Amino acid sequence: MMTDIYAILQAHWGYAQFRPLQEDIIHSVLAGKDTPICFQVPALALDGLCIVVSPLIALMKDQVEQLLRRGIFASAIFSGMDTRQMDKVFDECIDGKSKFLYVSPERLQTEAFKERAKRMKISLLAIDEAHCISQWGYDFRPSYLEIAEFRKTIPDVPIIALTATATPLVQEDIQTRLAFGEGRQVFQKSFARPNLSYTVLRSDNKGAHLLEALKRLNGSAVVYVRSRNKTQQIAQFLQKNLISADFYHAGLPPFVRSNKQDAWIQNKTRVMVSTNAFGMGIDKPDVRLVVHWEMPDSLEAYYQEAGRAGRDEQKAYAVALFQERDIKDMRQKTEKAYPPVEFLRQVYQSLGNYFQIPVGAGEYGQYDFDLEHFQTTFNLKGVSTYYALKRLSENGYIDFNEAYQQPSKVAYKMSNHDLYNFQLKNQGAEPILRTLARHYGSEMQSQAVKISESDIARSMNTSTEAVRKQLARLHDLNVLEYHAQKEKPQITFLTPRYDGDKLPIDQEKLAMRKQRDLERITSIEEYAQHKHRCRTQLLQEYFGEVSYEACGVCDVCVRKQRNAPTPDLTDQILQFINDKPQALLDIQAQFPHILGEKMADALQDMLEAGLLQYLENGKIAKV
């Protein structure tokens, strides 16, 4: 057993020294203290298994693969694995063969996991993306609240919580909800990134600004957009302008996402245009540019996504393309995200009827869920229904698994002529091929098309499972390519079913969450519209870090340096104002040879330096 932390660092990561704070954190963990942050080195130094709670399957798989490449045995349990596969992983953990076990927070509460965990020698519990446990965090996940309950089964095991995007309020909430002990220690690295230049561009022509940024800067880039359709549109726009680009979103089949990601990591593709599904856990240090086509709806998300540039600590750029209507769109989206309480109760009642659950029954019942069929059955609006399910989940009544975002897909592998001949020779396949053509048309000849096996089954008056088997057979015969949804969307009732009209919804808490989300949008707006404060300082202050030192590399700092008032101009302004306060327009008129922007920056700098002050009548006076 290797317990020398320097030897561990050198053997598995190839470094001789730790970065600032890392060694302090590791010693805190080894001393058995609850610690929010860096868990792999102390886990290797401790005798036993480290359980890592992570919110995303893709993130789990990526981290397991990285550890295996470093010669560290790690494994993961996630949905889609059969019983035999899970048993094998559990046995390896019980036998001490595995050092890291990655699981979702939901998995901790299953009886199978709790029983197996009793037989494991657990040395450390690590919570990745720990901000998900806080209702004040930007990515709250109710399932994270169950972690504290699991912790009661291992009371003497230290816990480490990791997040790069927690405000002081969220940090405190994390520690409370994870029941951190009195000897807890908190470590926070500065939110400043000296090598990362932040820029906000007000743009009525985002395409032109994007091309300009990509042509001025070399190296790998990521362009973040809000919608899946836009990922493909912008990637095609870049390709037409002779820039190597591809698109990525969670709705693509897993093997397609993997191939696209690999091509980008290996620099075969320069630019990846993506939703926020791209980037979590991806280890690519040489990204030179991250562009946000639209700002995300929180500074936490922006800081995390922008921060994927320049992880090699070389100069990198984060550019946000901004329009006033982006903020308006965000606020409208937030309003839609909080449907009326009456509608929440209606959706909850419809769920009970849909699954035929009697009032008072159904606790912990899991049900495969077809969102589209559910909406059609009860005549519910799509967007409002989706957000109602999210709110019901946040309130602890249901668990809403959103796997529907990765639907099954089908594409033909035969020409129309060959397909016709195949049907003539295989009459048994004719009904499903005819149904596919009627539902999804000829698009399947050129691309993979999203399908619903349940819709096809209803049209053919057969079972969904029979449809899947027929599609799988046609896949094996090379008639078409069928990528089945790996994980079915599910609804789990977390309490006995209520009568919908009497569902006790905390309206005050809903209102507070809505207000919190609107305040985050206001913070984004203030960040984007600020013209005089260093952008790094704005981000630092948002996360509770006080800084008096400007970064010197963001767009505001660079403009200030370019437009910095000369000592002569400062003296001339002070001499003109002297003992008589002056209106701003009079000051500008006194110096007609000075450009308006440079004069505005000069006055702002003098105000911040304490040389000038605004009076109540709006005039500017010497201090």
Q: Are 62 and 282 in contact (CB under 8 A)?
A: yes
**183 inside domain:** no
Query: In which domain, by residue range, is 345 found?
Result: 333-405+489-516
**191 inside domain:** no
**3 state SS for 56-83:** CHHHHHHHHHHHHHCCCCEEECCCCCCH
**509 inside domain:** yes
Residues 500 and 391 in one domain: yes
What's the pTM value of the predicted model, to 2 decimals? 0.70
**188 inside domain:** no
**146 inside domain:** yes
Residues 6+ apart with CB under 8 A from 487: 79, 80, 401, 403, 406
CA distances from residue 39 to 35, 67, 182, 285 in whole angstroms, order as listed: 9, 12, 20, 20
Last residue of a domain, one of 497, 516, 535: 516
Residues 586 and 613 in one domain: yes
**258 inside domain:** yes
Q: Which segments in the chain show pLDDT lower than 50?
A: 1-2, 33-37, 404-405
Structural domain count, the chain: 5
pLDDT of residue 327: 92
pLDDT of residue 2: 43
Residues 118 and 31 in one domain: yes
pLDDT digits (tens, 9 = 90+) for 505-564: 989 989 988 999 999 999 999 999 988 889 999 999 999 888 888 999 999 998 888 766
Residues 262 and 376 in one domain: no
Can you give the CATH number for the domain in which 203 is found? 3.40.50.300
Residues 131 and 167 in one domain: yes
Q: DSSP per residue over 563-617, as a string?
A: TPPPHHHHHHHHHHHTTS-B-HHHHHHH-TTS-HHHHHHHHHHHHHTTSEEE-TT
Can you give the CATH number for the domain in which 561 is found? 1.10.10
Last residue of a domain, one of 120, 144, 177: 177
Residues 240 and 308 in one domain: yes
Residues 49 and 125 in one domain: yes
Residues 367 and 444 in one domain: no
Q: Are 409 and 250 in contact (CB under 8 A)?
A: no
Residue type, 273: V
pLDDT of residue 67: 84
Residues 88 and 161 in one domain: yes
Residues 375 and 477 in one domain: no
Tokens of 165: 């995007």
Residues 474 and 507 in one domain: no
Which has the closest alpha carbon to 102: 137, 82, 131, 73?
Answer: 73
Tokens of 187: 């470590």
Exposed, middle or buried by CB within 10 Å (0-12, 13-18, 19+), for 483?
Answer: buried
**213 inside domain:** yes
Last residue of a domain, one of 322, 354, 370: 322
**589 inside domain:** yes
Residues 361 and 230 in one domain: no
